[in-house]
Amino acid sequence: MPILPARLERSPEGLLYSGSFGDFYHSRDDALGQARTVFLAGNSLPQRWQGRERFTIVETGFGAGLNFLATWAAWREDARRSTRLHFVSCELHPFTREDLALIHAAWPDLATLAAELRAQWPALAPGLHRLNLDDGRVTLTLHLGDAAEGLARIDARADALYLDGFAPAKNPALWSERIFHLLAGLAAPGATLATWSVAGEVREGLRRAGFATEKAPGFGTKWQMLRGRLAREAHARSTPQADSGGRHALVIGAGIAGCTVAERLAERGWAVELIDRAPAPASGASGNLAGVLRPLPSLDDNRMSRLTRAGSLYAWRRIHQLQARGLALHADDCGVLHLGRDTAQEVKMRAVVERLALPTDHLRFVGVDEAAELAGCAVANGGWWFAGSGWVQPPSLCAASLEAAGGRVRGHFGQTVARLGYGGGAWHAHGPDGRTIASAPVAILAPGTGIAGFEQARLPVVSARGQVSHLASTVGSAPRVVVCRGGYVSPAVDGLRCAGATFAVDDPDPDLRPEDHTENLQRLAAMLPGFVATRGVDLDPARLDGRVGFRPASPDRLPMIGALPLPAPAALADATPARRLDELARHPGLYALSGYGARGLVWSALAAELLASELEGDPAPLERDLLGAIDPARFVLRPAGKTAVRE
């Protein structure tokens, strides 16, 4: 469902108001005072988070973010605060970044935090958005869309619940029994709740959902508020590995998958043993000069569409954060043009844009003339314009990730893992001579196509050979943006332009081939009329340089992220898909990051955040249905053919 932003409206007294719901966003007495009295004090905060490793709050209505900002500020001011604070919230009609700036001006004491929030404010697209704030110590997981849909898909364990929204009479959907039961399903043992509403239907609905509530003195002119606690036992879940594993992990593979997960774990205090058979990081498929980072929309907004959108948006936020720290990450969100093959496909692409109704700074349709203006040269067709997307240099992303991780990552380069064994509560990486390279309670397999060599994996990963052609180019020469259509061509990067890439399954040839250069040039000529013809001998396939890489691809084109399964017992054959995934036994502390195919840049940052969150017991940055779609165990439960779909 498209996201319709909230309109910035104020009452005659200057209070923030919603004409759509006919109600105020906050108390007329003191909005910040209401947040502190009702939601913080109503949940016995800050006392309840003190001395905790992590504390998670789930909120039903984000609004302008005042409850979040007030909570963040109180957490920062508390010397005994939890190590990490997680805040999960839903919002059907979010404000734009520009409107938030106007609203936040009313709370100067929160100006610094509000500015950091706005700097990370996501594109107003449906789904979950993960924002890493306060040097990673505070995490905001924001669901844009219907709250009932979001709460049903969120994977989190709430220690406190903020029930905030327009009055039950104005917005009954946000105070329904379905909402209350969903909140109960997310509640951790001993979870508390607070709200300013004491309406009888609210109290009765919460009681039926399993909460015991009581009235308490209210704030301002509202005499009473409601406090509550989960009265029944919460659903049991597995204990996070971090609580028993000592935050120590092996990561096998130092491409973008391995380096990004090492950084995400290091930020959470993990010690990481990073092992790679090459003498340096990013020596395999992650060694390309430049790659494309952008989503892949669809008319029905299918799993691929949602995953690539979430992955792209999160990856660019992380890239900008790393660059803001002064790390030498070479990337440019110059924009990406995805051209249609012909007029018929242009019609379909326009229909996708109209159906999804995403923000125009994320996706819009452009005709051939505007596309040519954006590219700075002639193009074959119109198509999709991703203004916030662009290219990334994978080796620089790996280097920046490891630099950000600092001394928490110890590299073991030039070391081949011949065997991975488990014993004594730890995984042991053994070299060809039987020597132990490193050991840790948690092991993460991210060795690209090399994952097929680990007996514990048993995943239908195939090797996809890709050859990229390098074309000499000058800075500022056309095309000035990334252009895609069956292949891609980048702007000038370090004096070269990348064009490619081929995709050949089970082709082990490591050498550059003139015929593959020819294939890349043919794609380029089809995208940019006249581009190849005017360069003559400079684009002779026999003389071109380039690079060959081998990418791990999956049969359904989706990545494989998560705990590696043991063989499925026959008893699970007739179970529902969700139950089968939940009950399938896994190798203890063994995880995979694989199947990225040609979308390593799209998947890597979000996959790393997801796996680190799983290991820590943090809220997941992806919806439950998408977690099942990328679970490696899906292939144990429904065996797939070996041939990968062409990218």
3-class secondary-structure state, position 498: strand
Measured CA angle at 238 (ends 235, 241), to 5 deg: 150
Range of the domain at 188: 9-230
612: in domain: yes
pTM assigned to the model = 0.94
Q: What would the two tokens of residue 331 be?
A: 């990337």
Alpha-helical runs (H) found in 37-104: 66-77, 97-104
Residues 268 and 187 in one domain: no
Q: What is the DSSP letter of 36?
A: I
In a domain, 445, yes or no: yes
Structure-model confidence comparison of residues 420 and 570, the more confident one: 420
The pLDDT of residue 326 is above 70: yes
Residues 627 and 620 sit within 8 Å (Cβ to Cβ): yes
Higher pLDDT, 570 or 103: 103
In a domain, 116, yes or no: yes
According to the model, what pLDDT value does residue 79 have? 97
Q: For residue 159, which of 230, 226, 215 has the smallest C-alpha distance?
A: 230
- Predicted confidence at residue 247, as pLDDT, reads 94
Is there a single domain that holds both residue 125 and residue 272?
Answer: no
Looking at the fold, whether 153 and 265 belong to one and the same domain comes out as no
In a domain, 626, yes or no: yes
Number of helices (H), then strands (E), belonging to the chain: the values are 18, 32
Residue-level pLDDT at 641: 46
Mean pLDDT of the chain: 92
Dihedral pair phi/psi, residue 370, rounded to 5°: -70, -35
Q: Is the same domain home to 128 and 44?
A: yes
Is a pLDDT exceeding 50 seen at residue 137? yes
Q: Are 192 and 163 found together in one domain?
A: yes
**Residue 161: which CATH number?**
3.40.50.150
pLDDT of 552 over the 60 cut: yes
What number of residues does the chain have?
A: 647
Number of structural domains the chain divides into:
2
The H-assigned helical ranges of 19-61 are: 31-34
Per residue, the 3-state secondary structure of 417-439, as one string, reads CCEEEEECCEEEEECCCCCEEEE
Beta strands in 69-126 (DSSP E): 84-91
User: Per-residue pLDDT for 647 more than 90?
Assistant: no
Average pLDDT over residues 586-608: 96
pLDDT in the model for residue 20: 74
Strands (E), 331-487: 331-332, 336-339, 364-366, 383-386, 390-392, 409-413, 419-423, 426-430, 436-440, 442-445, 462-472, 482-484
Give residue 524's pLDDT.
95
How far apart (Å, rounded) are the C-alpha atoms in residues 559 and 615?
18
Q: Kindly report, residue by residue over 275-305, the tens digit of the pLDDT.
A: 999 999 999 989 999 999 999 999 999 999 9
Helix axes 394-405 and 600-616, enclosed angle (nearest 10): 20
What are the distances in angstroms from CA 139 to CA 72, 86, 121, 557? 10, 5, 13, 29
Please say which residue of 230, 254, 274 terminates a domain. Answer: 230
Q: 304 burial class (0-12, 13-18, 19+ CB within 10 angstroms)?
A: middle
pLDDT digits (tens, 9 = 90+) for 68-112: 999 999 999 999 999 999 999 999 999 999 999 999 999 999 999
Q: Between the CA of residue 9 and those of 14, 74, 155, 480, what are the distances in Å?
A: 9, 28, 34, 40
* Residue 461 near residue 452, CB atoms below 8 Å: yes
- pLDDT given for residue 242 in this prediction: 46
Asked, for residue 529, whether it belongs to a domain, the answer is no
Among 388, 362, 359, 360, residue whose Cα is nearest residue 3: 359
Specify whether the backbone of 608 is left (phi greater than 0), alpha (psi in -120 to 50) or beta: alpha
Point out the domain boundary residue: 230, 252, 267: 230
Average pLDDT on 16-25 reads 71
Pair (36, 179) in one structural domain = yes
**58 vs 153: CA distance, rounded Å:** 13
Q: Are residues 65 and 177 in the same domain?
A: yes
Q: Find the helix or strand (DSSP H, E) in which 178 lies.
A: helix 177-186
26-80 pLDDT tens trace = 766 688 998 999 999 999 999 999 999 999 999 999 999 999 999 999 999 999 9
In terms of DSSP H, where are the helices of 406-495? none
Residue 162 near residue 59 (C-beta atoms within 8 A) = yes
User: Does residue 643 register a pLDDT over 50?
Assistant: no
Q: How large a percentage of the chain has pLDDT more than 90?
A: 82
Using the 3D structure, point to which of 184, 205, 230 is the last residue of a domain: 230
Angle 614-615-620 (CA atoms, 0-180°, nearest 5)? 20
Distance CA 46, CA 74 (A): 7
Query: Which residue type sits at 170?
Result: K
Indicate if 141 and 263 belong to the same structural domain. no
Q: What pLDDT shows up at residue 575?
A: 58
Count Cβ atoms within 10 A of the Cβ of residue 485 and give its class: 0-12 exposed, 13-18 middle, 19 or more buried.
buried
Does residue 642 have a pLDDT over 50? no
At 320, give phi and psi (nearest 5°). Answer: -65, -35
Q: What is the CATH number of the domain that holds 609?
A: 3.50.50.60
Query: How far is it, in rounded angstroms, from Cα 364 to Cα 572?
Result: 45
Residue 514 inside a domain? The answer is: no
- Residue 264 has φ and ψ, to the nearest 5°, of -65, -35
Same domain, yes or no: 183 and 267:
no
Strands 248-252 and 442-445: parallel
- Which DSSP symbol is given to 567? P
DSSP reduced 3-state for 20: coil
Does 121 lie in the same domain as 266?
no
Q: Judging by DSSP bridges, how do beta strands 586-594 and 442-445 pair with one another?
A: parallel
Predicted pLDDT of residue 645: 47
User: Which pLDDT does position 621 carry in this prediction?
Assistant: 98
Query: CA 321 to CA 377: how far, in whole Å?
Result: 32
Distance, first Cα to last Cα, the chain: 27
How far is residue 365's CA from residue 356's CA, in Å, rounded to a whole number? 12
The per-residue pLDDT for 241 is: 44
Q: Is residue 26 part of a domain?
A: yes
| pLDDT band, very low/low/confident/very high, at 245 (cuts 50, 70, 90) | low
**Predicted confidence (pLDDT) per residue in 342-392, tens digit:** 999 999 999 999 999 999 999 999 999 999 999 999 999 999 999 999 999
The whole-angstrom separation of Cα 555 and Cα 640 is: 7
What residues does 384 pair with on adjacent strands? 338, 365
**DSSP for 193-207?**
EEES---HHHHHHHH
Express each pLDDT in 213-241 by its tens digit.
999 998 877 789 999 999 976 554 443 44
Domain annotation covers residue 168: yes
Q: Are 601 and 392 in contact (CB under 8 A)?
A: yes
**Is residue 80 located within the same domain as residue 186?**
yes
223 & 246 share domain: no
The string over 63-89, giving b where at least 16 C-beta atoms fall within 10 Å of a residue's C-beta and e elsewhere, is: bbbbbbbbbbbbbeeeeebbebbbbbb
Q: Is 452 exposed, middle or buried (0-12, 13-18, 19+ CB in 10 A)?
A: middle
Tokens in use for 299? 């008319």
